[in-house]
Amino acid sequence: MKAKTAAIVPFYNEAFTIGKILNELLSYVDFVIAVDDGSNDNRQNEIPKDERILLLRHSKNLGKGAALRTGLRKAMEINVEKVITIDADFQHDPALVPEFLKKLDECQIVVGNRLENISPMPLPRKLSNFITSFLLSLKTGVNIKDSQCGFRGFLSETIPPIITDENGFEAESLMLIKAARNNFSICFVKIPTIYGDDNSKMKNIRAIFGFIKILFK
């Protein structure tokens, strides 16, 4: 199996959105790698039946970092040239995937930037994002505009050096650190800030300690 493009969608108990986002992504990429991180909402029937959707499952909830690792390894297995990671809850607009893919012709890693319009973002998320982006910029020497955005694009050659063993949300920050250490070019795409009810699966205290840990790696 070989494909030029794939989108990785890690999800945990996203029964109300997962089917719709997978269907939409099929319009923009060759394959969608959906990683069920131990969901227990018993809504497996929401996954569309399509041979271009590769469904991977964790037997228990391990964390977003673990789900991304599983998806990225699958992308390498099927020899994808360009990889998109996107959240399952529609806080990222799938219609922007072509813009990310196009930007990967200019640089090796692309990250969504929501911080040019932060008014819809809950205050705790604004503060944590500004702080983590600032600290990561200091550590890497790269202007990291939005460290917490999970809407990203990668060229295939960047994936093996940046995969991490971290299972939580801190994995996304560590991937940026590893990318900078490997001198990969990182650029940003402006995307809208989309929030409904702020039922984020990111637990603030745990995420803070995880971030502090990777700052010293």
Nearest by Cα to 6 from 121, 114, 143, 154: 154
Task: Look up residue 138 and give its two tokens.
Answer: 């200091």
Q: What is the pLDDT of residues 98-128, one digit of tens each?
A: 999 999 999 999 999 987 765 656 666 667 7
Proportion of the chain above pLDDT 70, given as a percent: 82
How do strand 152-155 and strand 109-113 relate by DSSP bridges?
antiparallel
Q: What is the pLDDT of residues 26-77, one digit of tens each?
A: 999 999 999 999 999 876 678 899 999 999 999 999 999 999 999 999 999 9
Lookup result for tokens 């063993």? 165
Cα separation, 86 vs 68, whole angstroms: 10
End-to-end, the C-alpha distance of the chain in Å comes to: 36
Lookup result for tokens 């394959």? 31
Q: What is the pLDDT of residues 158-187, one digit of tens each?
A: 999 999 999 998 999 999 999 999 999 999
The CATH number given to whatever domain includes residue 184 is: 3.90.550.10
Q: What domain count does the chain have?
A: 1
Cα separation, 203 vs 30, whole angstroms: 33
Residue type, 214: I
Task: Look up residue 209 and give its two tokens.
Answer: 């300690």
**Domain boundaries, position 93:** 5-215
